[in-house]
Amino acid sequence: MQHRVPVSSLCIAAAVPATTALRWIKTMTERGLLVRRPDPHDGRRIFIEMSHATSHAVRRFFSEVGLALV
């Protein structure tokens, strides 16, 4: 299941200046790690979600780390 996060919330959660967060979001989007999705109800808002490949890689990583800790 993919979860979307508004860009503004992601910038706040990053705990860095907004310009830094926006620069990293742009870089990660250009590299295919993140996907930008427009809010269908508010044309001013953009959501960010992990790409399917990124989501799969993160899940696989935590699955393997979890097995290593057992």
Rounded to an integer, what distance in angstroms lies between the CA atom of residue 16 and that of residue 55?
23
pLDDT attached to residue 26: 95
Tens digit of pLDDT for each residue in 10-28? 999 999 999 999 999 999 9
Whether the full predicted model's pTM is greater than 0.85, yes or no, is no
Question: What are the backbone angles phi and psi of residue 6, rounded to the nearest 5°?
Answer: -60, 145
pLDDT attached to residue 70: 57
On the 0-12 / 13-18 / 19+ scale of CB atoms within 10 A, 61 is exposed
Q: What is the mean pLDDT of residues 31-44?
A: 93
pLDDT attached to residue 69: 66
Tens digit of pLDDT for each residue in 42-65? 988 999 999 999 999 999 998 888
